[in-house]
Amino acid sequence: MRIDRYELYDVIASGGMATVHLGRLLGPAGFGRTVAIKRLHPHLAKEAEFVTMLTDEARVAARIGHPNIVPTLDIVASQGELFLVMEYVPGLTLAALMKNAAREGERVPVPIACAIMAGVLRGLDAAHEARDESSRPLEVVHRDVSPQNILVGTDGVARLLDFGIAKAVGRLHTTRDGQLKGKVGYMAPEQLSARAVDRRTDIYAASVVLWEVLTGERLFDGDDAGAIFGSVLQKMVPAPSTKVAEVPAAVDMAVLSGLEREPSRRFARAREMATAIENGAPLARASEIAEWVAQMGEKELAERANVVAGIGRPGAVATARAQVQDSSAGILMAVGEATAAPRSRRRALWIVAAAVLSISAGGVVALQRRAARSVDVAAPLTQVPTTVTAGTSAPAALPGADPAAIATPRPAEAADPLPTSPSPGKTSAAGRTNPAARAPASKSRAAKAAACDPPFTIDDQGHKHYKVDCL
């Protein structure tokens, strides 16, 4: 499915409100980037309340910049729906990793569990401290910290995601009285009792997650929500070390402090709990976490990597061509196609592209013989310059080379002098042949003028492609 600059592919996650798809951002000259795109379930897409929640999520998440938070990149309205575009992070949720470990008869190693949750707490602190454009505190409360909302990447970094039900100042959507938000087993007593929530509510939820990751067991369990509700309010919580002897005493204390039923007795800030864990336990390095993730999620990660590789193949180039709306951008289209063109055609196309980007800054901005036009790409795509900064030149492009390399200028001291009016058949100081020299010597001026009237051809899609001999 095509939405604006993006294409949607396979579903990689699904929840009660939305699905998350693999997607691809498409740009000019074959540029592409894999992203994750959140889409409301069809039966909710027409409900104003849920559309507003997605909008709020984008506004809140975009204000939080931290390595332990999945970045929000864009929000797109298309075909009557809203789509939230996020950075794609290869990895698995903590819930999936814990499940895979249990299937193998293992628990998450203590140093890895502590490192993951210390990172999550650092991300939570960044969310709690987020401010709006006027530097006013947003007072964000995530309200849904759980293993399902913690993504552990193949780079060994844990990231918090899904601010869909986060509480924050300035949200357009407000929760109706008596409406519970979040997963019951990870809710703090004040959240279950419909009392005011704040950052310490998230610290409680993170402490539940840490207890479960360390022990490999559910902390508050029951046959139904009512039973879990009662367990949260009444159960005496044992220290993790009573289940797993390797858990350090300092981590026990941090977990139990975070699980205090009275908010005032918990850590005041998430970073304080992160510091207590970091000082009290040996932490796994990111490379060790990455290796463990690769081992626990070997099958799922391999399947996902194959899908990602598939959507990044040359088919995206053809789609990118549709993004170019100006007819004079046929040269740019040709550059995007160069990797699939025959060798002789590729060579001619690269010469044309190099000629366009090698015009000196001495004021020459027109291509000769009626093909002169500026090359524009419709917003919001990046413009392709038709001039080069004074003192620089575009390097000669080789067939099969990266098109982006064409626009990379060399330092001024290494630049070649560029003649403003090269003579046909002559070669520049760098040994590059003027494209005009490739016109057959036997072709008369009159014949060439006739052949170049008009100087372009029009393909089946209505795009203009300028003739190489007419430039």
* Domains of the chain: total: 2
Give the residue among 99, 92, 73, 105 at the shortest CA–CA distance from 5: 73
Q: Sign (positive/negative) of CA torsion 50, 51, 54, 59?
A: negative
Q: What does the pLDDT look like over 212-231, one tens digit per residue?
A: 999 999 999 888 888 888 88
pLDDT at res. 48:
83
Q: How far apart are CA 375 and CA 395, in angstroms?
A: 19
pLDDT at 60 over 90: no
Is 156 within 8 Å of 230 (Cβ atoms)? no
* 242 and 176 co-located in one domain: yes
Q: What does the pLDDT look like over 171-205, one tens digit per residue?
A: 555 554 444 556 889 999 999 988 899 999 999 99
pLDDT at 149 over 90: yes
Q: How far apart are CA 275 and CA 135, in angstroms?
A: 26
pLDDT at 152 over 60: yes
Is 412 within 8 Å of 388 (Cβ atoms)? no
Confidence of residue 41 (pLDDT cuts 50, 70, 90): confident
Residue 12 lies in a domain: no
Q: How far apart are CA 336 and CA 318, in angstroms?
A: 8
Is 127 within 8 Å of 140 (Cβ atoms)? yes
Mean pLDDT of 102-119: 96
DSSP 228-242: HHHHHHHPPPPPGGG
Higher-confidence position of 403 and 139: 139
Mean pLDDT of 439-467: 63
Percent of the chain with pLDDT over 90: 39
Residue 82 lies in a domain: no
Q: How far apart are CA 412 and CA 420, in angstroms?
A: 17
Residue 118 lies in a domain: yes
Q: Sign (positive/negative) of CA torsion 85, 86, 91, 93?
A: negative
Mean pLDDT of 343-366: 45
pLDDT at res. 56:
83
Mean pLDDT of 151-164: 94
Q: How big is the CA angle at 423 (ends 422 and 428), to the nearest 5 degrees? A: 50
Residue 319 lies in a domain: no
Q: How far apart are CA 260 and CA 48, in angstroms?
A: 38
pLDDT at res. 43:
82
- Contacts with 8 (C-beta within 8 Å, 6 or more apart), sequence order: 1, 2, 21, 22, 23, 37, 39, 83
Domain interval for residue 270: 90-310
- Specify the CATH number for the domain of residue 213: 1.10.510.10
Residue 37 lies in a domain: no
* 447 and 389 co-located in one domain: yes
**Residues that are catalytic:** 144
Mean pLDDT of 439-445: 52
Q: What does the pLDDT look like over 310-347, one tens digit per residue?
A: 886 655 444 434 443 333 333 333 333 333 444 444 44
Higher-confidence position of 264 and 57: 264
Mean pLDDT of 267-288: 97
Higher-confidence position of 121 and 378: 121
Confidence of residue 458 (pLDDT cuts 50, 70, 90): confident
pLDDT at 349 over 70: no
Task: Select from 280, 310, 340 the last residue of a domain.
Answer: 310
Is 367 within 8 Å of 389 (Cβ atoms)? no
pTM here is 0.65
How would you class 214 by CB atoms within 10 Å of its CB: exposed for 0-12, middle for 13-18, buried for 19 or more? buried
Residue 40 lies in a domain: no
pLDDT at res. 170:
59
* 220 and 245 co-located in one domain: yes
Task: Return the minimum-mean-pLDDT range out of 101-115, 244-258, 360-374, 452-466.
Answer: 360-374
* 355 and 288 co-located in one domain: no
Tokens 């058949």 map to which residue? 425
Tell me what the pLDDT averaged over the chain comes to: 75
Mean pLDDT of 121-125: 97
Q: What does the pLDDT look like over 380-412, one tens digit per residue?
A: 333 434 333 444 444 444 344 444 443 444 444
* 296 and 331 co-located in one domain: no
Mean pLDDT of 21-25: 92
